[in-house]
Amino acid sequence: MTEGSRTRTALVAFALAALLTLAFAGVAAAKTTARGTHRAKAVRVLKPRKYGGLDCNGYSRIQKPARRWATCTDVEGVKGAHNRNTWNGRFIDNGHYIGHDEPDMGFYSNRPGSGNDVTWTETLGSDPAGAPTVSSPGHDVTHWFELSIAPWFSMDVCDPNSYPYNSCTPESDRNAPTCAGPHVVTAHCFPGAGDAFVEMQFYPPGMAPFADAISCDDTHWCAALNIDSLECSAGYAVCNPNCQEPINFAWIQRDGVPTGPASPQESNYYTSTPNRETLLMNPGDTITVHMYDAPVPGGGGRALRVDIYDWSTHQFGTMQASAKNGFADTNPQTCDGTPFNFEPEFNTAAPGNVTSWAALRTNISTQFEIGHWEACTSLSQPFTFTFSNGFTDTAWNQCSGPYESAPGGDESLEPGGDGPCYPVGDTHGELNTAPDEATGCLASNSVGDLDFDGQPYYADWPVSASATRTFPASFVQQLPTSRYSGYSAYQIQTDAAYSEAGCSVGTPSGCSIPPQGPGDFYPFWSFVSNRRDFGNQPAGGDGSGRRCVIEFGNVTSGEGVNDLGGDAQYGTDQSARLGAPEFQGPIRPIDCGSERR
């Protein structure tokens, strides 16, 4: 490097540091809360290591990603703002659009505790007996890993070091933004407390390893606690390019102990690699998930805790987002971490109690992340990825096959390629994992399936709670409860339109559900009121054994099925109101067959 180059580099670094200092001025004053239980008493600074999770999207300028890619929270754009971090209602991370597709059903209640203590009971989806096929789009044998890489449950948590950097009192509705639209800051508007978004994610069997794919193994579901924050100033005028969307990650463990460092600064290969204590669940198992604020064992305040009980195997797993378990928040100026207890943000699940920066405007919700699978018959353009422990793995970046060549697809919309892609039977070299069940791509190098030609956008989804020869069995979810009380209303939304090339704020004609693509399909939610069998979980409800349950996919027929209008349930493009191309249906009271809650 020449002396002139070194000087220019130093000047750029100095200017960036100065700009960040000005943009985030006052953040340090917002760190304390009324309860004072967020931050660990013994302050320990976590310096970023070579590998980690400083940017969930993998674009940190100072750190390599510990995991090949991650399922990140989609960030909302800012209406009318056109800068290096937001354009036309879409968020940009270091020059990369990072949106993806997350159909979501949120639940509302004004009962105290409904925003911070939720219980879900569900039967996990299962696959057809036959192996996946890649020959006839819309009619192939399809497994869950090809449809959704991460079904998840959500909750908002306090993080005063995250956008918009205001103090946050745990379990308080005063944290909610009061703006008519996000990021519209006036003298009469509060943009919301600093917050992070929790995704309690499940991962399907069939495409291991998790470190650079999506599965724990070929036969089990597994689950992890993900917490995403955002290091940007008001209106995204300045974001720290070194730690734009930091992520804390830990598996749900039978012993409650993370497999590796959970923090964005220190996470490594072992953080995202299951061990013998990781909770593994069988397809078709009935489980109960409890998300709530709890004391940290041995002292140290309170923190969000997730418990999972498997009624089918009688196994139990847990994880707490505590400083003691290695969770940390991130300094928006330096990217350093501080051990931190993440606690639920809101008291109630009222409609206005939502994350201030996420594309999905929600708190308590169930969701299926889609648009990350393209089945292939052959692969090309190999590349190698190196993990923090020195292991390497070869992936491919170009897919060929009937899905990629179907009329209506447009490969030019995916400039990053289709990868990472892996061939059927791949055991991933030194990682020595279970063999992949199909040849295909996760479409993460281009964020997602931006031309909507993969299997999630064909009618290959479950048609009932039972698997067929071709399609998987649906998840069957009971309506959520909070401290044994139900939620009174629900709302359905999706951020799919963010990824539509012809969709932008002000041109709603280019925004549609289903998105334009060769499959011309979009999965949807259904209420079913006749379910009587819920695995080994004890009966309850109205005493009749009948249950109002939720199924997702293509469930349109059968006794007690209400498909909520199919794709019409996603409502209309809310660009004019929200400033971003989010589809939202109306808030509706829960009324499912014989059960009204």
Q: Is 343 helix (H, G, I), strand (E, B) or coil?
A: coil
Residue 501's pLDDT is: 84
State whether 592 and 461 are in the same domain.
Answer: yes
pTM: 0.92
Q: Looking at the domain assignment, is residue 558 inside a domain?
A: yes
User: How confident is the model over 182-203, as a mean pLDDT?
Assistant: 81
Using an 8 Å Cβ cutoff, are 300 and 41 in contact? yes
Q: Looking at the domain assignment, is residue 70 inside a domain?
A: no
User: How confident is the model over 453-476, as a mean pLDDT?
Assistant: 96
Q: Looking at the domain assignment, is residue 372 inside a domain?
A: no
DSSP string over 33-72: -SS--SB-SS---B---SEE-SSTTS--SS-EESSS---P
Query: How is residue 466 written in tokens?
Result: 């039972």
> What's the pLDDT band for 76 if we cut at 50, 70, 90?
confident
Q: Is the dihedral of CA 448, 450, 454, 460 positive or negative?
A: positive
> What's the pLDDT band for 383 if we cut at 50, 70, 90?
very high
Q: Looking at the domain assignment, is residue 233 inside a domain?
A: no
d(CA 362, CA 444): 24
Residue range 107-130, pLDDT digits in tens: 999 999 999 999 999 999 999 999
**Pick from 407, 437, 454: which residue ends a domain?**
454
Burial class of residue 433, CB neighbours in 10 A (0-12, 13-18, 19+) = buried
State whether 437 and 517 are in the same domain.
Answer: no
User: How confident is the model over 276-303, as a mean pLDDT?
Assistant: 97
Q: Looking at the domain assignment, is residue 102 inside a domain?
A: no
pLDDT at 240 > cutoff 60: yes
Residue 509's pLDDT is: 75
Q: Is 136 helix (H, G, I), strand (E, B) or coil?
A: coil
Residue 8's pLDDT is: 42
**Pick from 454, 480, 504: which residue ends a domain?**
454
Q: Looking at the domain assignment, is residue 489 inside a domain?
A: yes
Residue 88's pLDDT is: 73
Element (H, E) at 528: strand 524-531
| DSSP structural state of residue 61 | S
d(CA 287, CA 537): 8
State whether 478 and 490 are in the same domain.
Answer: yes
d(CA 535, CA 407): 43
State whether 431 and 465 are in the same domain.
Answer: no
User: How confident is the model over 546-560, as a mean pLDDT?
Assistant: 90
State whether 513 and 551 are in the same domain.
Answer: yes
> What's the pLDDT band for 99 if we cut at 50, 70, 90?
confident
Using an 8 Å Cβ cutoff, are 367 and 105 in contact? yes
**Pick from 454, 486, 509: which residue ends a domain?**
454
Residue 34's pLDDT is: 43
State whether 498 and 544 are in the same domain.
Answer: yes
Q: Looking at the domain assignment, is residue 503 inside a domain?
A: yes
Using CA atoms of 357, 361, 365, 367 in order, give the dihedral in degrees to the nearest 10: -80
d(CA 466, CA 125): 9
| DSSP structural state of residue 76 | B
Q: Is 378 helix (H, G, I), strand (E, B) or coil?
A: strand
State whether 411 and 536 are in the same domain.
Answer: no
Structural domains in the chain (count):
2
If we measure between CA atoms, which residue out of 451, 376, 371 comes closest to residue 421?
Answer: 376
CB within 8 A of 276, min separation 6: which ones?
A: none
For the chain, what's the residue count? 597
Percentage of the chain surpassing pLDDT 90?
70
| DSSP structural state of residue 307 | E
State whether 409 and 427 are in the same domain.
Answer: yes
| DSSP structural state of residue 11 | H
User: How confident is the model over 539-555, as a mean pLDDT?
Assistant: 69
CA-derived radius of gyration, the chain = 22
State whether 387 and 399 are in the same domain.
Answer: yes
State whether 539 and 500 are in the same domain.
Answer: yes
pLDDT at 6 > cutoff 70: no
Residue 25's pLDDT is: 52
Using an 8 Å Cβ cutoff, are 541 and 529 in contact? no
Residue range 485-497, pLDDT digits in tens: 999 999 999 999 8
d(CA 223, CA 276): 14
User: How confident is the model over 268-291, as a mean pLDDT?
Assistant: 98
Over the chain, what is the mean pLDDT?
Answer: 88
Q: Looking at the domain assignment, is residue 567 inside a domain?
A: yes
* Distance set, CA 466 to CA 340, 477, 521, 527, 592 (Å): 43, 14, 21, 16, 21
- Write out the E strands in 46-116: 51-52, 64-65, 86-87, 90-93, 96-97, 104-108
Residue 342's pLDDT is: 98
Using an 8 Å Cβ cutoff, are 264 and 328 in contact? yes
Please state whether 576 falls in left (phi above 0), alpha (psi between -120 and 50) or beta: alpha
Query: How is residue 4 written in tokens?
Result: 């002139």
Residue 533's pLDDT is: 52
d(CA 44, CA 29): 18
State whether 440 and 469 are in the same domain.
Answer: no
Residue 446 sits at the vertex; the CA angle it makes with 440 and 447, to the nearest 5 degrees, is: 95
Residue 575's pLDDT is: 84
Domain with 582, as residue range(s), is: 457-596
Residue 35's pLDDT is: 55
Q: Is the dihedral of CA 209, 213, 218, 220 positive or negative?
A: positive
* β partners of residue 198: 155, 227
Ramachandran angles phi, psi of 278, nearest 5°? -65, 130
d(CA 19, CA 10): 14
> What's the pLDDT band for 27 if we cut at 50, 70, 90?
low
Q: For the chain, give me the number of helices (H) and strands (E)?
A: 2, 34
d(CA 87, CA 439): 35
> What's the pLDDT band for 593 if we cut at 50, 70, 90?
low
pLDDT at 184 > cutoff 70: no
d(CA 366, CA 527): 13
User: How confident is the model over 81-97, as a mean pLDDT?
Assistant: 84
| DSSP structural state of residue 43 | -
pLDDT at 332 > cutoff 70: yes
State whether 392 and 495 are in the same domain.
Answer: no
Residue 579's pLDDT is: 78
